[in-house]
Amino acid sequence: MATAAPAFVEAQGLTKSFGPVRALNGAWLRVPSGTIEGLVGHNGAGKSTLISLISGAQRADAGEIKLRGEVYAGGSVVEAEGQGVFLVPQQTSLFGDVSVLDNLMTPRRYPRRGGALVGWRQARTMARRVLAEVDLDLDLDARVSTLSVPDHRALMIARALLREPGLLILDEPTEAFAEAEVARLFDVLRGMVANGMTVLYVSHRLEEVLHLAGHVTVMRGGETVAELEPAGVDRAALVGAMLGEEATVPAAPKPRVAVGDRRERCRLTEVGGGRLESISLTLAAAEVVGLYGLAGSGTSEVLRAIAGLHPIAAGEIRLGGELLAGSVAERRRRGITYLSDAVAAEAALKGLSVRENVAIGVAGGVRRRPWLPVVSRRGEAALAADSLARVGLARDRLEAPIETLSGGMQQKVMLARSLVSKSSVWLFDEPLTGLDVHSRLEFSELLRRLVSEPTDEGDRCALLVLGDYEDLRIACDRVYAVRDGRVTAEFAAGTFTEHDLVHAVSFDLAA
């Protein structure tokens, strides 16, 4: 009989509550040393709380955690790192305005000469070595803000590797990755494990978990419900374990707007500048349109150009037939809302309630009297409750701090804010980041319903950057493939496969 590998992490009976909400209820986890363990579960299943206990960000109310056989109290990130546990979070922890080198070498990590002077040559050598370990070829002096999302993720992993971790916890590491970037990361992780490292891989991308992990731990409702071997499990069975019910795969929606009936809402004509070579596309009323491309293709820049955040040197953008120009604020007044992939970090205002996060979308605020600069909480509550009801959130969430909501609920709050701000053109960069399969479907259906609603502000439409085939298949009426700053293909809903998309962004079909 084969002996089980010794565990790097062994947790039993973990309980954790936040006020009246019990996030964990007797959860357990075993991560064998020198392996890749997958951790999956529906939004709110307890995954984030569990890894916060292991990484030292929180302390359990009850239960026990052992690291390499030794009892670990938790509640201290410094102690966890001292035990070799490092978390690479879902949201970026890098500083965009400083260099790659400075992000890798925080002051306490810079090598010193004579105990005081920074050893710059040694630091650059160390940085190049660790970047090579994650297959990154970056200018050490480049600002991190110029990097793609996949390079951001890889750089965070590289920074952790400088500390020589025993256990690397990766929380949604491949959100916004295309197939090639996923394959690169998998090669890097397998190499790390071959050299003795242990990896806990937390992801909603179930195909990736099944392909990569040696075992998969499933959580549901704050409890650990199963540990599975990927070889004997398919995606439907894994989703069933997560939800406690038989899962079904939703069908792709049919295009709702016939080509001849399209009322053009927004048009880009040969738009160029920066990564954009020559982008031409249209958005019609009541449409959800997707953009798909590899890292650096220019998809994000398309959204930013429409929002006024990316300068254009050629071409034109028209909204409702009129030339679109001016500042970001002016474009907002014309009904344009832009949200990047880091929604929780950039758009949701931490420390404020759901009510305040929604009401802030009203220019000038919700006042007791138009002429009186005093905020009306009652007016805010009424406005927020109406908008939240339209996106499927209950009124009892109004006064909850925004950070206590799951990623999916925060996304809905941002949609509610867009509704009160009278937005009619929604530009979302990876809006499904961090959401589980059912939350992705729910958000997609909600978005399609909202853009179809008649409004006083004019016809709505949405343009989404999405890196996942299933998301594009479920959410979009049409999809544009983008490569090297150009549109290489256009697909209607239900007419394309994943192979079609990958081919369109890997080869210039227009050449």
Residue 98 falls inside a structural domain: yes
Owning domain of residue 480: 250-335+422-511
CATH, residue 432: 3.40.50.300
Nearest residue to 471 (alpha-carbon basis) of 497, 427, 445, 440:
440
| Same domain, residue pair 384 and 426 | no
Mean pLDDT in consecutive groups of 10 residues from the start of the chain, 511 residues: 73 88 91 94 83 92 93 88 90 82 74 63 86 86 83 87 91 77 88 94 86 92 91 78 62 54 87 92 94 84 93 94 91 86 56 78 45 50 74 75 75 76 83 73 83 75 89 93 91 87 66 44
Q: Are residues 450 and 327 located together in one domain of the fold?
A: yes
Q: Residue 61: what pLDDT?
A: 94
pLDDT of residue 60: 93
Q: What is the pLDDT of residue 11?
A: 95
**Is 168 part of any domain?**
yes
195 falls within a domain: yes
Q: Is 27 exposed, middle or buried (0-12, 13-18, 19+ CB in 10 A)?
A: buried
What HEC string does 426-438 produce? EEEECCCCCCCHH
Same domain, 174 and 44: yes
Name the residue among 49, 248, 89, 229 with its Cα closest to residue 171. Answer: 89
pTM score, whole prediction: 0.60
220 and 293 co-located in one domain: no
Q: Examine the domain organization and report whether 377 and 434 are in the same domain.
A: no
User: Domain check: are 55 and 156 in the same one?
Assistant: yes
Helix, strand, or coil (residue 39): strand
- What is the pLDDT, as a whole number, of residue 371? 34
Same domain, 235 and 320: no
Of the residues 394, 413, 432, the one at which a domain ends: 413
The whole-number pLDDT of residue 443 equals 80
Cβ–Cβ under 8 Å, residues 434 and 175: yes
* Listed residues 243, 259, 280: the one ending a domain: 243
Tell me if 191 is assigned to some domain: yes
Neighbouring residues of 465: CB distance < 8 A, sequence distance ≥ 6: 290, 291, 292, 299, 300, 302, 303, 341, 428, 429, 430
> Do 197 and 216 lie in a common domain?
yes
pLDDT at res. 41: 85
Is 383 contained in some domain? yes
Instruction: Tell me if 379 is assigned to some domain.
Output: yes
Closest CA to 272 of 300, 307, 326, 312: 312
Same domain, 201 and 313: no
Same domain, 199 and 81: yes
Q: Assess if residue 288 is contained within a domain.
A: yes
CA distances 207 to 211, 212, 213, 251, 470, Å, are 6, 9, 10, 18, 11
**Cβ neighbours of residue 156 closer than 8 Å, sequence gap 6 or more:** 88, 89, 92, 93, 94
497, 479 Cβ separation under 8 angstroms: no
- Within its chain, how far is the Cα of 362 from the centroid? 26
Domain count, the chain: 3
Helix (H/G/I), strand (E/B), else coil: 259: helix
Domain end among 360, 387, 413: 413
14-42: pLDDT as tens digits: 999 887 778 899 999 999 999 999 999 87
510 domain-assigned: yes
**CA–CA dist 204, 438 (Å, integer):** 10
**In terms of domains, do 185 and 300 share one?**
no
Asked if 91 and 155 sit in the same domain, the reply is yes
For position 111, what pLDDT does the model report?
A: 64
